[in-house]
Amino acid sequence: MANYFSILLVILTIASGLIWLIDAIVFAPKRKRKAAQSDARATGTSAMGSEPEVPYLVDTAQQIFPVIAFVLILRSFLYEPFQIPSGSMMPTLLVGDFILVEKFAYGLRDPVFRNKFVETGEPERGDVVVFKYPEDPNIDYIKRVVGLPGDTVVYQNKQIFIKPYCANEQAKQCPALKPVPVEFKSRGDFVQDMAPLLRYTEQLGEASHDILRHPMRDIPASNYYTQPGTRSNEWLVPENHYFVMGDNRDNSRDSRFWGFVPEENLVGEAVAIWISFEFERGEDSLLPTWIPTGVRFSRVGSIE
């Protein structure tokens, strides 16, 4: 849907701009000359009269072009709003959060074909990123970057192990496979399937954030995406690809199930929550479920 909106914005911007430009170069001077001739015949002088009336189509193009051009530039190259539709990133992001995604964080791309024309940076471990879902690029996903290109990632017993990329695997100074540090924080802040979830603080690179674990649910390794030449719960991240996971570890379909995110699928980094709505309307309510029941002002701010 986001792709279609971008294409529509580009078409409207180009169309309205061309209408304004062609009119200014070709038709506006003709209207002015015609109006001047009419005034001259009516008054008997060569003085310029009132401005000729602008056609409706041209007037509309002049009014909307600056607005949609600004929206196109803002949305394509600076910041784009997204709504969180599911709980896969709890507790970091909740259903009803509206976030801002920094589009220039990982390079500037054209809004239609998404070809990168300016390099501005690369994802870091722990970043919360929005990307085009590899199995259906028309869908935007949001997850956290766990594995960088060349990393070895292992997920076992609800614990992440990472071996960072090393150019020379024979060198003694190459890092070994190590667990990502986690520390128990609380229990019961969130409930899923009648079970209070366990909340931990996890340290991924420079990013410290909270994750959720289900106390009983355990996804069999046989359900994971199996990469040729590795174990069923081990992944070697290819060049120009990223391994991503949701913070709600037992309720997230992510790289464990469908593989890696290509670099060209990256949309940007989620940097802030600008508004957060509650949707807790009961089935007996007369109002539609999409109408918010409240605003969570305490959630407005940066994303960890």
Question: Where are the domains positioned within the chain?
Answer: 2-77, 84-302
Using one digit for the tens of pLDDT, what is the confidence trace for 113-123? 888 999 999 99
Percent of the chain with pLDDT over 90: 64
Q: Quick check: helix, strand or coil at residue 178?
A: strand
- Give catalytic status of residue 88 as yes or no: yes
Of the options 1.10.287.80, 2.40.110.10, 2.40.40.20, 2.10.109.10, the CATH number for the domain spanning 84-302? 2.10.109.10
Taking 3-state DSSP, the helix, strand and coil percentages for the chain, each rounded to the nearest 5, stand at 25, 30, 40
32 is catalytic: no
What kind and span of H or E run contains 186?
A: strand 182-192
In the chain, the amino acid numbered 239 is E
Alpha carbon distances (Å) from 53 to 35, 50, 57, 107: 9, 9, 12, 45
Place of tokens 């990013």: 207
Whole-angstrom CA distances from 34 to 45, 55, 63, 128 are: 14, 14, 24, 60
Question: Alpha carbon of 99 to those of 16, 86, 118, 225, 301: distances in Å?
Answer: 30, 13, 24, 29, 9
pLDDT per residue as tens digits for the range 124-142: 999 999 999 999 998 999 9
Task: Give yes or no for residue 49 having a pLDDT over 60.
Answer: no
**Active-site position among 6, 76, 88, 252:** 88
The model carries a pTM of: 0.86
Task: List CB contacts of 200: < 8 A, sequence separation 6 or more.
Answer: 182, 183, 184, 185, 210, 211, 212, 213
Q: How far apart are CA 3 and CA 14, in angstroms?
A: 17
Which of 103, 132, 143, 163 is the catalytic position? 143
End-to-end CA distance of the chain: 27
Comparing CA positions, the residue from 136, 89, 81, 117 lying closest to residue 268 is: 81
Per-residue pLDDT band for 36 (boundaries 50, 70, 90) equals confident
Which residues fall within 8 angstroms of residue 11, CB to CB, at 6 or more apart?
none
Q: How many CA within 13 A on the CB side of residue 283? A: 0
- Whole-angstrom Cα distance, residue 218 to residue 222? 11
Q: What is the pLDDT of residues 203-259, one digit of tens each?
A: 998 889 999 999 988 888 888 998 888 888 999 999 999 999 999 999 999 999 999
Q: Which of 94, 84, 90 is nearest to 209 (CA)?
A: 90
